[in-house]
């Protein structure tokens, strides 16, 4: 006998406690599927009821409109991690709902090395594959071999390999919203000695210590604006295009100096906006627009967000 589980769809669920900025309105409908089948049922439910779908991980890279999100917000809440060892590697498959933090801890317990370079980055596997998280020269896509994705219309599953994602800086095929991530498999090095694991654990602690001392780690989405593409800028330093948006933001002197209500530009990092307590999304947008205007006035270019803007009827920033 097969057991058919029904996914729970809730109405008017607050999203302000489900994202890192701690702002934004409610989801018209909300589901937190506990396994891949419930994920599929949620999609089918939305399509049958003509509701748009928005995926939500930890909300560590999004700014949600004060009016909330219409349609169904799906928060994958399944968190299995499995391990297969082959020769000197481990193939680790993690569900979309696993946090990067949990994944790294579990990998190190199993002697699987490599992902510790992403220590201290908040978010789920789903959101992290979506944006292809990066830290210095490390890209998450360097470790991915295959994945299961789900069709955003039919709810059917598809096995894909790394090439399917067309990974780039801040980019994967998931941006097209035709498929969502169900799980991803990472090929990691198998530790040969306990010393190698201890070294990786030390590196993890050091990266976190470094990040905590340098960047705000609450009430923010991390970097708000993406770096420029080389063709967008003319300024050069030592023969190389100056693509780092933080350089321009530092020059215009917004760090710790610009605010609207409780929304401020961090005093630690010019590209990080922080909700000090009671900011609204509208306050964050006001600060972000002012930053764009100032960079435009000084350099003739307009920074664009890395942070995903969700639930806005019109694009709220400068293009
Ligand atoms: C303090 C701080 C520091 C940060 N530092 C870094 C850093 O060093 N490097 C870096 O790269 N990023 C950094 N970020 C950004 C953030 O950690 C990453 O973008 C992270 O991957 C977001 O994951 P999430 O689960 O919270 O995704 P969310 O913010 O919930 O979603 C992000 C996007 O992914 C989509 N999405 C979510 N789940 C799925 C899924 N299963 N299938 C398809 N689409 C999905 C959402 O619809 C949305 O468009 C930082 C953020 C913070 C708050």
Q: Based on the structure, what is the number of domains in the chain?
A: 3
User: Does 61 fall in a domain?
Assistant: yes
The C-alpha atoms of residue 103 and residue 121 are separated, in whole angstroms, by 11
Residue in the block written with tokens 């941006």: 175
* pLDDT classification of 7: cutoffs 50, 70, 90: confident
User: Is pTM, for the whole model, over 0.85?
Assistant: yes
Is the CB–ligand 1 distance for residue 292 below 6 Å? no
Domain membership of residue 296 as a residue range = 230-305
User: Does 95 fall in a domain?
Assistant: yes
User: Does 318 fall in a domain?
Assistant: no
* Relative orientation angle of helices 100-109 and 194-214, to the nearest 10 degrees: 160
User: Does 49 fall in a domain?
Assistant: yes
CA of 258 to the centre of ligand 1 (A): 25
Please report, for the domain that includes residue 279, its CATH number: 3.90.78.10
The contacts of residue 61 (CB under 8 Å, 6+ apart) are 20, 123, 127, 131, 221, 222, 306, 307, 308
Looking at residue 1, what is its pLDDT?
Answer: 41
Is the CB–ligand 1 distance for residue 122 below 6 Å? yes
Same domain as 291, residue 186? no
Residue whose Cα lies nearest atom 34 of ligand 1: it is 127
Q: Where among 31, 55, 74 does a domain terminate?
A: 74
The C-alpha atoms of residue 260 and residue 216 are separated, in whole angstroms, by 18
Contact 235, 291 (CB under 8 A): no
CA of 217 to the centre of ligand 1 (A): 14
Same domain as 87, residue 62? no
CA of 175 to the centre of ligand 1 (A): 12
Task: Work out which ligand 1 atom sits closest to the CA atom of 308.
Answer: 49
Tokens of 163: 């090439």
Residue 89: which of 224, 192, 189 has the closest Cα?
Answer: 189
Please report, for the domain that includes residue 43, its CATH number: 3.30.43.10
Q: Where among 24, 49, 74 does a domain terminate?
A: 74
Q: Which residues on neighbouring strands pair with residue 236, listed in sequence order?
A: 241
Same domain as 148, residue 67? no
Q: Where among 57, 74, 91 does a domain terminate?
A: 74
DSSP string, 247-291: HHHHHTT-TTT-EETTEEE-SS-TT-EEE-SS--HHHHHHHHHHH
Same domain as 162, residue 135? yes
Same domain as 255, residue 192? no
Ligand 1, residues 62, 116, 131: which to mutate, most atoms within 8 A of Cβ? 131
What Cα–Cα distance (Å) separates residue 71 from each residue in 43, 94, 149, 236? 11, 27, 21, 45
CA of 319 to the centre of ligand 1 (A): 22
In terms of Cβ atoms closer than 10 Å to its own Cβ (0-12, 13-18, 19+), residue 229 is exposed
User: Is 202 strand, coil or helix?
Assistant: helix
Same domain as 122, residue 68? no
Write out pLDDT tens, residues 64-75. Answer: 999 999 999 999
Is the CB–ligand 1 distance for residue 220 below 6 Å? yes
The C-alpha atoms of residue 147 and residue 184 are separated, in whole angstroms, by 4
Same domain as 53, residue 118? no
Looking at residue 80, what is its pLDDT?
Answer: 98
Same domain as 195, residue 299? no
Which ranges constitute the DSSP H helices of 97-156? 100-109, 125-131
CA of 307 to the centre of ligand 1 (A): 8
User: Does 310 fall in a domain?
Assistant: no
User: Does 221 fall in a domain?
Assistant: no
Residue 294 has pLDDT above 90, yes or no: yes
| Mean pLDDT (whole number) for 104-111 | 98
Please report, for the domain that includes residue 114, its CATH number: 3.30.465.10
Is the CB–ligand 1 distance for residue 180 below 6 Å? yes
Is the CB–ligand 1 distance for residue 57 below 6 Å? yes
Same domain as 239, residue 202? no
Residue 3 has pLDDT above 90, yes or no: no
CA of 1 to the centre of ligand 1 (A): 39
User: Does 191 fall in a domain?
Assistant: yes
| Mean pLDDT (whole number) for 287-315 | 98
User: Does 317 fall in a domain?
Assistant: no
Same domain as 108, residue 53? no
Residue 111: which of 32, 25, 199, 44 has the closest Cα?
Answer: 199
Question: Do the strands 89-95 and 81-86 form a parallel or antiparallel pair, or are they unpaired?
Answer: antiparallel
Residue 292: which of 314, 268, 273, 313 has the closest Cα?
Answer: 273
The C-alpha atoms of residue 97 and residue 100 are separated, in whole angstroms, by 9
Is the CB–ligand 1 distance for residue 123 below 6 Å? yes
Residue 35 has pLDDT above 70, yes or no: yes
The C-alpha atoms of residue 173 and residue 165 are separated, in whole angstroms, by 5
Is the CB–ligand 1 distance for residue 307 below 6 Å? no
Residue whose Cα lies nearest atom 15 of ligand 1: it is 61
Same domain as 266, residue 198? no
Same domain as 149, residue 27? no
What is the three-state SS of 208-241? HHHHHHHCCCCCCCCCCECCCCHHHCCCEECCEE
Is the CB–ligand 1 distance for residue 33 below 6 Å? no
Write out pLDDT tens, residues 217-264. Answer: 999 999 999 999 999 999 999 999 999 999 999 999 999 999 999 999
Write out pLDDT tens, residues 267-281. Answer: 999 999 999 999 999
């Amino acid at each position: 006998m097969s057991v058919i589980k029904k996914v729970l769809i809730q109405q008017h669920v607050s999203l302000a406690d489900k994202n890192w900025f701690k702002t934004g309105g409610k989801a018209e409908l909300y589901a937190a599927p506990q396994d891949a089948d419930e994920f599929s049922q949620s999609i089918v439910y939305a399509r049958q009821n003509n509701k748009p779908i928005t995926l939500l991980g930890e909300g560590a890279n999004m700014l949600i409109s004060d009016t909330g999100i219409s349609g169904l917000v799906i928060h994958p809440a399944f968190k299995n991690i499995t391990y297969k060892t082959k020769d000197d590697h481990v193939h680790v498959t993690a569900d979309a709902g696993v946090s990067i933090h949990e994944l790294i801890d579990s990998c190190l317990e199993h002697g699987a090395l490599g992902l510790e370079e992403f220590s201290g980055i908040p978010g789920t596997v789903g959101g992290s594959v979506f944006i292809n998280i990066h830290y210095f020269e490390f890209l998450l896509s360097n470790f991915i071999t295959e994945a299961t994705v789900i069709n955003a219309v039919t709810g059917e599953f598809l096995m894909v390999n790394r090439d399917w994602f067309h990974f780039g800086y801040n980019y994967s095929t998931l941006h097209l919203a035709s498929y969502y991530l169900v799980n991803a498999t990472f090929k990691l090095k198998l530790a040969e000695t306990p010393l190698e694991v201890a070294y990786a654990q030390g590196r993890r602690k050091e990266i976190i210590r470094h990040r905590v001392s340098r960047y705000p780690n609450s009430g923010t989405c991390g970097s708000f604006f993406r770096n420029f593409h080389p063709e967008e800028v003319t300024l050069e330093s030592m023969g190389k295009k100056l693509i780092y948006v933080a350089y321009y933001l530092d020059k215009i002197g917004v760090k710790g100096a610009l605010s609207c209500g409780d929304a401020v530009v961090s005093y630690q990092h010019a590209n990080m906006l922080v909700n000090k307590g009671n900011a609204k999304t509208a306050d964050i947008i006001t600060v972000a627009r002012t930053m764009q205007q100032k960079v435009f006035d000084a350099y003739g270019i307009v920074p664009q967000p890395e942070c995903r803007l969700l639930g806005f009827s019109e694009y709220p920033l400068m293009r």
